[in-house]
Amino acid sequence: MLPALSRTRYAALQEFLADSGEPSYRLKQILRAVYRRGITEPARMTELPVRLRERLTAEFGPSLLGLTPIATQQGDQVEKVLFESRQGARIETVYSRYSTGWTSLCVSTQVGCGLGCTFCATGAVGLVRNLAADEICDQVLHFAHRQGGVDSVSFMGMGEALANPHTFTALDLLQHKDFHAMSSRRITVSTVGFAPGLQRLVDDHPQVNVTLSVHSPYDDERAEMIPLQRRYPLARCLEILDGHVTATRRKAYLAYLLIDNHNDSEDHARALAHLVGKLARPELFCVNLIAYNPAAGVTPEFRRPKPAQIRRFLAVLAAAGVRTTKRQQFGDSLEAACGQLHARYLTVSGAPTPTHDGGQRTSLDITKR
């Protein structure tokens, strides 16, 4: 078995082919059809015998993909797709095209999210379940063979990527030469501070880009915005990242969501600069400023700061010698920008219960917009 096949549909495919007495090269033929030619329907895999195509269709269904696109919204530079799993769970994926010709895909890793960050619509949904590695990668497959393809992938969609153990299998698949064959440097994983997963990420995938959400330099205020702060403090996450950049000399990114009259003062900027300045390799950290996007189900008084306030915040960081950028943002009219994804789940009720994949399932009251 190929190392990346563990706990994916391809493990089931490999077992099925072996039990059917098929030669071992059949799996390679299927992988080439899916990942090099973009063919996911067994019936269209003409390199396979007709009898095998028929048996694969009967066993695995008309498509090998576990997600079906059920709605699409288009903007000038953004496309947002609502996917539904075979079990009826829904997630959103955002495809962006930049003026330079570069394309980027923002993938989801969980159906909802259980961390309850006060600025994020996904957190208002609550955790439904973890996505399987196949379901994470199927979002990439959907876009990979269309015009423009996918130049980079960011794990910044619905859910806390590092709280889902299947994220690491998905990273293996994205980089494996027989699957997506993506460079690790074209992959970014974002976290609000799930420290055990962050440590595993920098240990197992040291060349993958990492973004840590900070959003406040003050522990108590950050805990109000990101409740996970009480379990895994920012200081612990920064320590992990500082060790990582020191060992690899790779840059790390600190995301900072600017909210009007909340965390956008010059005192906040100075305190943030002080945090960065205390690190062993501050020059390898870049603060990425993000203007708040109004989102469903979040703290109602949150507002986007005025452009002048954003410029003042940036100027304080720059004067302190902190590398800083302002994130290019588009897609907010489609509810496709940072913090806005909710996959049309509006209300969630009930207590989480375990699922077969080790995630959490929550009973849902679902209404579509």
d(CA 75, CA 152): 19
22 is catalytic: no
Q: Element (H or E) spanning 26, and its range?
A: helix 25-36
Token pair of 9, please? 């549909």
d(CA 118, CA 157): 16
Catalytic residue among 92, 135, 160, 335: 92
Catalytic residue among 117, 120, 237, 338: 338
Residue entry with tokens 């003026």: 99
Give the phi and the psi of residue 84 in degrees, each rounded to 5.
Answer: -125, 135
- Please say whether the beta carbons of 271 and 218 come within 8 A: yes
Token pair of 32, please? 């080439």
Helix (H, G, I), strand (E, B) or coil at 190: strand
- Please say whether the beta carbons of 96 and 103 come within 8 A: yes
d(CA 164, CA 162): 5
- Please say whether the beta carbons of 316 and 328 come within 8 A: no
Token pair of 332, please? 């907010």
d(CA 325, CA 318): 10
Give the phi and the psi of residue 15 in degrees, each rounded to 5.
Answer: -65, -45
92 is catalytic: yes
Catalytic residues: 92, 338
